[in-house]
Amino acid sequence: MPELLQVENLSAGYGEAVVLQAVSLSVPQGQTLALLGRNGTGKTTFINTLAGVTRLHGGTIRLAGRALQGLKPHERAAAGIGWVPQERNIFKSLTVHENLSAVARPGPWTPARVYEMFPRLAERTRNLGTQLSGGEQQMLAVGRALVLNPSLLLLDEPLEGLAPIVAEELLRAIRRITRDEGLSAIIVEQHPQAILAISDLAVVLDHGTVMHQSTAQSMAGQPELLNRLLGLSRAL
């Protein structure tokens, strides 16, 4: 299976502060990588670096063979990066439909397909971003990334702060996007077992470096390893 994303010896951070140090990993076409680690280990910095909003200190990032380092965030989006940050970053002064139509690019994912996947949004097409619940805002953030028709989807803690029933609905949608639709993704999440179940690969970061890589299935089947690597009192 061809490699979609190739990251080699990546060092990055904020200003002069280096958070990531010599990180190397890859994501094959059509596969999902679960990016795990304790709080403050560099997971969000890695996602932000792929999206182009940190300072690159060294290394290379290639998406489908194209070098991304040096490209601005909007250029990376055009190159195939779909980014759902922790802050969601939806346009709160625009309606749901305007959020989607303003950024849509040609491809299989359209606002209509987003509404079909998230019926809650279909009922709120004329609502402003400020009028949505946290779960609805997250659905809109995912939908907005999808209508860019990316080749790689970046999800930074997509289930954070959501009510269990909403988190389950969003998890089913992510499973459909990655498993059924075959869109490659990198998912950062504090609930490892939930994400490992829909991922192919797993990488654990610690102090900005890769400390473990394996298949997601292998890691999910070793709760004692999760305890040791992630500092969990129990496997979630």
The answer to the question of residue 199 being in a domain is no
75 C-beta neighbours (distance < 10 Å), count: 12
The answer to the question of residue 198 being in a domain is no
Mean pLDDT in order along the chain per 10 residues (236 residues) = 94 96 97 94 96 97 96 96 95 96 96 97 96 96 97 96 93 95 94 91 95 94 88 45
Give me the pLDDT at residue 236, please: 37
The answer to the question of residue 235 being in a domain is no
CA angle at residue 144 from 143 to 147, to 5 degrees? 85
User: Token pair 């998406």 is at which residue?
Assistant: 63
Give me the pLDDT at residue 1, please: 74
The answer to the question of residue 11 being in a domain is yes
The answer to the question of residue 122 being in a domain is yes
Give me the pLDDT at residue 185, please: 98
Q: Count how many domains the chain has.
A: 1
CATH number at residue 14: 3.40.50.300
Cα–Cα dist 212/134, whole Å: 33
Cα–Cα dist 93/31, whole Å: 35
pTM of the model: 0.94
**Domain residues for 154?**
3-193+205-230
The answer to the question of residue 166 being in a domain is yes
The answer to the question of residue 79 being in a domain is yes
